[in-house]
Amino acid sequence: MIIRSNPINQCREPTGWPGRFVLWTMNIRHSKVTDWGLKHISIEKHDTILDVGCGGGRTVRKLAALATEGKVYGIDHSEESVAAARKTNEQWIRLGRIEIRQGSVSYLPFSDDMFDLATAVETHFYWPDLPADMREVLRVLKPGGKLIIIAEIYGGGKHVRIQKLLEKHTELTNMALLSVKEHSEVFSKAGYSDVQIIEEYDKGWICGIGRKPL
């Protein structure tokens, strides 16, 4: 059973005023790990990009600033996240450079082979069926397109105490904290090629990158 009012579940699916507060803090707290992760991929000016679990929308804004002649879509299953991401990106939404939609990673409302890049920051550990959900992201990537997953907690990382606490209360958190090896395996099993898992051990950060085969 997932108890919605606990802080972890405000991160899994922000709701109401506590959710709005959590989204505001996440836009600030996740900025550095996001910048670090994005350094590991190249973003072209015409790219069409999807940010899954877009939360308060800061990553969407960063991506739109990099893909200067492209388009960035954000998707999130939380109504509160969608509202916050739309507010963060009001101007670029008006210009047609950004679009924010409500929906689940498990059923993306996009056609096959649409995106050059998909990003997922601090969200994949909440997805209901990670291998199937990563295959759903694969479906919407163009052949040769990439998925990058970025997170500041993972199995075997620096933040052992937090990790143990989350694992101990797994019935409340329902989070899947994969190790480096397990991240690599889940990318490969989902059908990605050229899989790379990069750790910044001192900070406790991880990013995983996989490509849709041509």
Ligand X SMILES: C[S@@+](CC[C@H](N)C(=O)[O-])C[C@H]1O[C@@H](n2cnc3c(N)ncnc32)[C@H](O)[C@@H]1O
Report the interface residues with ligand X, using CB under 6 A.
Answer: 11-14, 26-27, 30, 53-56, 59, 76-78, 81, 104-105, 121-123, 126-128
Q: How far is the CB of 33 from ligand X (least distance, A)?
A: 8
- Cβ distance to ligand X smaller for residue 73 or 127: 127
3-class SS at 78?
coil
CB of 8 to ligand X, least distance (A): 9
Q: Give 53 or 210: the residue with its C-beta nearer to ligand X.
A: 53
Least CB distance from residue 123 to ligand X, whole Å? Answer: 4
User: Of how many residues is the chain composed?
Assistant: 214
Instruction: Give the nearer residue to ligand X in terms of CB position, either 12 or 46.
Output: 12
Q: State the minimum distance, in angstroms, from the CB of residue 97 to ligand X.
A: 19
Other CB atoms within 10 Å distance of the CB of residue 31: 14
Phi/psi region, residue 57 (left: phi>0; alpha: psi -120 to 50; beta: rest), is left
Strand ranges (E), the chain: 48-52, 71-76, 98-102, 115-121, 141-151, 193-200, 205-211
